[in-house]
Amino acid sequence: MSILRGVKGYSRKLIVRKMVQMLPKLSMKNMSKIIDLGESLITRDDHKAIAESLKNYIEEGHPAVKLIEKVLYKLSPECRYRTIYNLFILALLDKTSVRESLKKELGFRPPFFFVISPTMRCNLKCYGCYAGEYEQASGLSHEVLDRIIREAQELGIHFITFSGGEPFIRADLLDLYEKHRDVIFQVYTNGTLIDEKIAKRLARLGNVAPMISMEGFERETDERRGKGHFEKAMRTMDYLRQEGVLFGSSVTQTRENIYTISSDEFVDMLVEKGAFLIWYFQYIPIGRKPDMSMMLTPQQRDIVRRRLRKIRATKPLFICDFWNDGSYIDGCLAAGREYFHINANGDVEPCVFAHFAVDNINEKSLKEVLASEFFREIRSRQPFSENPLMPCMIIDNPHDLREVVRKCHAYPTHAGAETLITDLAREMDKYAMQYHRIADRTWRNEYAGECKKAIAS
């Protein structure tokens, strides 16, 4: 068996080497070739489906092809290389087998990625900020961050998201990104601290993708983030596009801005600015002054799901809507199933929006925190619903969050975090019940029918 594993390992190295050799001369003409090579590295069925979809998109001229063309022809040489090598060849393809092989040894498969908030300090004071009630003075040391990233690579994780707070407040993080060149870092940022000099350095690094926070157009964005913020964000996007840096936008969906941020006009503006992707997050009543009235109504959530499906099929952008995309990712990703969050105090939370923990990364390794009773209990309950349109243990299945926090004696990671499962419990249950009625009907009428057609074909 050891000889067979050695042969397979050597074969994988040869395939990866051949793919890397193709990168400097990669074009749309030979993109299918590198996908074919990549398929031989894939061990998971869901990843095989992604590879087949990419090839079909290229053959059919899907709008996603324009996104691939942007990666090939609009990025700086180092950004193009690191995006394809770090994210696709390493994280998605080659290291998937490493994570799968560790499952027997660890009792769980390491996640695809995770989020670190190295600091909660920020130069803005946005109302409704999910991180607004964390302690602002603390932060993870450079040495601890370096150790976390090294441990992640040992687990086959090469995609790490940095959030906050505002990550670009810490200049030392740029040196950390440079030290770990084989990791792709996605950085959620308000964008105000990225100037021309920083944009040029990001283009040389190649492995950092800023995601700039927006609330819509100028009125919506400035109302939440402060006068002049929209103009600054637009200027930052210009710097990044001119230097060939891969970037996107992060959008918080609220009851007030939902129709704006899911409009063709808003998405077209970001396409014109050069964005590659948009992450849609629903407002969750946590952090600074939690407010249930800011949440999407259950009806609005269904409306935006439909709108974003249309955008995904017609625009040259990668679109992700975490709560409404449960059918694509088989429900909740939290607690290390595919991701988790380390806050600036070192508390290891199951999700960026579930502010409870039992472990601290300053005291334990990544392996240890991923194996905690808290995370294992959450993973044992996933998916929380048979309907993947209701994936979340916070807003769709709030009883699960309350039960697991109580059972595992998880502590709130900042003052007031427990409000979500105490003062707001009745309202969260009511919200979940109202949305369940819509989601059940939608699943029966739309998605279940699509699944039957796919199986029949």
Helices of type H across 1-117 = 2-22, 28-39, 45-60, 64-73, 77-82, 95-106
Which two three-digit tokens encode residue 22? 């193709």
- Give the list of residues 6+ apart from residue 119 with CB closer than 8 angstroms, or none: 139, 140, 164, 165, 166, 167, 169, 170, 344
Cα separation, 235 vs 242, in Å, equals 11
pLDDT confidence of residue 457: 47
Give one word for 140, left, alpha or beta, with left for phi > 0 and alpha for psi -120 to 50: beta
For residues 95 and 111, is the Cβ–Cβ distance under 8 A? no
Neighbours of 358 (CB within 10 A): 18
User: Do β-strands 318-321 and 277-282 pair in parallel, antiparallel, or remain unpaired?
Assistant: parallel
Name the DSSP class of 111.
Answer: P
For residues 322 and 293, is the Cβ–Cβ distance under 8 A? no
pLDDT confidence of residue 5: 46
In 54-89, which positions are buried (b, 16+ CB within 10 angstroms) versus exposed (e)?
beeebeeebebbebbebbeeebbebbbbbbbbbbbb
For residues 346 and 362, is the Cβ–Cβ distance under 8 A? yes
Question: Which of 170, 161, 164 minimizes the C-alpha distance to 132?
Answer: 164
pLDDT confidence of residue 14: 72
Which two three-digit tokens encode residue 217? 């157009």
Question: Which of 213, 151, 211 minimizes the C-alpha distance to 183?
Answer: 151
Question: Which of 369, 335, 332 minimizes the C-alpha distance to 351?
Answer: 335
- Taking only the tens place, the pLDDT of each residue in 194-226 is 999 999 999 999 999 999 999 999 998 888 888
- What is the three-class DSSP state of 282? strand
Specify which residues 186 forms β-bridges with.
161, 209
Q: Is the pTM of this model over 0.85?
A: yes
Cα separation, 118 vs 109, in Å, equals 25
pLDDT confidence of residue 329: 83
pLDDT confidence of residue 4: 39
pLDDT confidence of residue 138: 72
Give one word for 226, left, alpha or beta, with left for phi > 0 and alpha for psi -120 to 50: left
Spell out, as residue ranges, where the chain has pLDDT lower than 50: 1-7, 10, 452-457
Distances (CA, A) of 225 to 118, 154, 269: 21, 39, 19
Most distant CA atoms of the chain, gap in Å = 64
Q: In what order do the strands lie in the sheet with 248-253?
A: 318-321, 277-282, 248-253, 208-214, 184-189, 159-162, 113-116, 341-342, 348-349
pLDDT confidence of residue 207: 98
